């Protein structure tokens, strides 16, 4: 049995290797706060969300499939949570029992454990069937409809009843019924485990010859044990394989459902703050169009626990986005919102916006300024160049890179020239660039480049920041004196 909620044609690997620079992306885009909100202390949900978020899907078809399943989950949170709870409850019941499948020299122990585990799994499969019966009509996506239909089809009432009866019969509390025949040299051969509740049971077996072992007949007990093991060997292998198969299904379903439960948790938190979400539109990688409405920094909203400002954009045939403007005007926040939205969209999630449309990217990378590290063996500029070199080894046509005040550790002229050359090389090789900068010389170098979209952090006439980023060419000033007055001047005099 397959869940097929995350992918149409393959399993979701929760332990898969993440994309390059996971730790850097997490820190620069402040993704940890989002993952904490999604997981709510559940390690499985955290692992599933990490696996999905840091392995962006490159195919619009795969993204669309996961989006339809997500929309179903958001519309049916109760059944989805219940299915996930059943998988977790199953694992707890297994952990709380003494039934474990592990290599053992005692075949009887493996037999007993397999029967015990299958009884636990059968009980929980019955609960799966009940959820499918109650909620199938509310689902529309291919993933959930096929899953719930499969549960109904494979777990029919007659199957569940007969499976339960067989497991009860396999309990060896009253002993096992074994048959054999004599082979060469009067040796027992063809040992077979027999059903007890067959037709004419009493007529065939009630008056059969029998004997009892003496209480201290250790050799006899060992011989009987060996004969029993020969009879239950094939059955034990079948039971153990069945238990492992069902356990694999429960674990796989738990991991896939965990992602959607995490999305439900995040949706609920953002809805409580009055913040919008939307299912994004993902365009082919060759497209160079971006548009969104009310795009916001999800982690900022969760951290502040209140509504935050969103931004709008409509750009076509652009490959370079240069963001300038007033200090502390929301430029870095805007950049984080773009990176978050791209990763969330390509994970098949919703994004924090009223609408969002962007091309699929084969990689998302960040190069943000870092605080001075006293332990650095080289200068800050060398450290930035070293990080850029490592990124250059991974960048390829169709990637997205976000720069935040990069290469500002030197003077205006040198910093601008470094930024210009790196940016020019990137866009010429088909890489999309978002660059927040206060280097005017660098920003102005692309004024005649028709592939460039200029954005500017808005400053009101009274010097206040609206924290909106709107289209606008770079200015010679970042209005640093506004901050000076705010911090050091009160009523026109020095504080």
Q: What is the pLDDT of residue 100?
A: 60
Counting other chains too, the contacts that 40-48 makes at CB distance below 8 Å and 24 or more residues apart are 40/265, 42/258, 42/261, 44/88, 44/254, 44/255, 44/258, 45/258, 45/259, 45/261, 45/262, 45/265, 46/262, 47/14, 47/15, 47/255, 47/258, 48/12, 48/14, 48/255, 48/256, 48/258, 48/259, 48/262
Please compute, for residue 94, the number of CA atoms within 13 A of its CA located in the half-sphere on the CB side: 22
3-state class of 213 per DSSP? coil
Q: Rounded distance, CA 385 to CA 392, Å? A: 10
CB 436 within 8 A of CB 403: yes
Q: Rounded distance, CA 341 to CA 364, Å? A: 11
Q: What is the pLDDT of residue 458?
A: 86
CB 403 within 8 A of CB 418: no
- Where is 432: in which H helix or E strand? strand 432-436
Q: What is the pLDDT of residue 328?
A: 82
Name residue 457's beta-bridge partners.
325, 469
Structure tokens at 20: 């390059």
E-state strands within 188-319? 188-194, 281-283, 289-295, 311-316
E-state strands within 7-131? none
- Where is 402: in which H helix or E strand? strand 400-404
- Nearest-CA neighbor of 261 among 425, 73, 113, 446? 73
Q: What is the pLDDT of residue 489?
A: 58
281-370+380-494 CATH: 3.40.50.300
Q: Rounded distance, CA 281 to CA 278, Å? A: 9
Q: What are phi and psi of 238, to 5 degrees?
A: -65, -45
E-state strands within 106-256? 177-182, 188-194
Q: What is the pLDDT of residue 7?
A: 96
Please compute, for residue 88, the number of CA atoms within 13 A of its CA located in the half-sphere on the CB side: 14
Q: What is the pLDDT of residue 34?
A: 98
Q: pTM of the predicted model, to two decimals? A: 0.86
How many Å from the N-terminal Cα to the C-terminal Cα in the chain? 71
Q: What is the pLDDT along the chain (495 residues), one digit of tens a residue?
A: 788 999 999 999 999 899 999 999 999 999 999 999 999 999 999 999 999 999 999 999 999 999 999 999 999 999 999 999 999 999 888 877 665 655 555 677 777 788 888 888 899 999 999 999 999 999 999 999 999 999 999 888 888 888 888 877 777 655 677 777 888 876 777 777 777 665 655 566 666 667 677 888 778 777 777 777 776 777 778 888 888 888 899 999 999 999 999 999 999 999 999 999 999 999 999 999 999 999 999 999 999 999 999 999 999 999 999 999 888 888 999 999 999 999 999 999 999 999 999 999 999 999 998 876 655 556 788 889 999 999 999 999 999 999 999 988 788 899 999 999 999 999 999 999 999 999 999 999 999 999 999 999 987 766 677 789 999 998 875 555 554 455 555 554 544
Domain boundaries, the chain: 22-171+245-272, 281-370+380-494
């Amino acid at each position: 049995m397959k869940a097929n909620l995350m992918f149409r044609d393959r399993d979701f690997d929760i332990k898969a290797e993440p994309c390059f620079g996971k730790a850097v992306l997490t820190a620069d885009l402040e993704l940890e706060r989002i993952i904490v909100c999604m997981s709510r202390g559940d390690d499985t949900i955290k692992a599933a969300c990490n696996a999905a978020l840091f392995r962006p899907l490159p195919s619009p078809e795969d993204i669309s499939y996961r989006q339809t399943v997500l929309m179903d989950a958001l519309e049916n949170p109760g059944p989805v949570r219940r299915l996930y709870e059943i998988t977790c409850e199953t694992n707890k019941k297994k952990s709380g029992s003494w039934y474990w499948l592990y290599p053992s020299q005692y075949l009887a122990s493996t037999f007993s454990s397999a029967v015990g585990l299958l009884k636990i799994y059968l009980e929980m499969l019955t609960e799966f069937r009940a959820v499918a019966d109650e909620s199938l009509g509310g689902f529309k996506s291919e993933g959930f409809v096929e899953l719930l239909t499969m549960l109904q089809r494979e777990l029919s009432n007659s199957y569940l009843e007969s499976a339960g009866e067989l497991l009860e019969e396999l309990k060896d509390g009253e002993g096992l019924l074994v048959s054999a025949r004599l082979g060469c040299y009067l040796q027992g051969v063809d040992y077979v485990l027999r059903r007890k509740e067959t037709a004419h049971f009493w007529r065939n077996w009630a008056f059969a010859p029998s004997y009892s072992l003496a209480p201290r007949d250790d050799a006899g007990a060992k011989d009987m044990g060996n004969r029993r093991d020969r009879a239950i060997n094939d059955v034990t292998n079948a039971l153990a394989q069945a238990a492992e198969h069902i356990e694999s299904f429960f674990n796989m379903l738990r991991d896939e459902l965990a992602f959607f439960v995490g999305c439900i948790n995040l949706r609920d938190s953002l809805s409580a703050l009055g913040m919008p979400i939307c299912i994004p539109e993902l365009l082919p990688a060759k497209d160079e169009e971006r548009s969104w409405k009310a795009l916001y920094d999800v982690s900022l909203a969760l951290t502040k626990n209140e509504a935050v400002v969103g931004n709008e954009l409509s750009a076509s045939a652009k490959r370079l986005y240069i963001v300038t403007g007033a200090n502390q005007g929301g430029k870095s926040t805007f950049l984080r919102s773009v990176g978050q939205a791209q990763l969330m969209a390509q994970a098949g999630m919703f994004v924090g916006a009223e609408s969002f449309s962007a091309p699929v990217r084969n990689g998302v990378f960040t190069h943000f300024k870092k605080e001075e590290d006293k332990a650095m063996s080289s200068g800050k500029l060398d450290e930035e160049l070293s990080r850029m070199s490592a990124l250059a080894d991974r960048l390829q046509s169709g990637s997205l890179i976000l720069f935040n005040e990069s290469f500002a550790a030197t003077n205006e002229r040198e910093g601008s020239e470094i930024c210009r050359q790196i940016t020019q090389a990137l866009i010429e090789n088909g890489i999309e660039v978002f660059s927040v900068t206060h280097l005017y010389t660098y920003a102005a170098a692309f004024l005649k480049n028709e592939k460039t979209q200029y954005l500017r952090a808005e400053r009101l006439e009274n010097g206040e920041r609206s924290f909106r980023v709107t289209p606008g060419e770079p200015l010679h000033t970042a209005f640093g004196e506004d901050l000076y007055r705010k911090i050091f001047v009160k009523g026109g005099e020095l504080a």
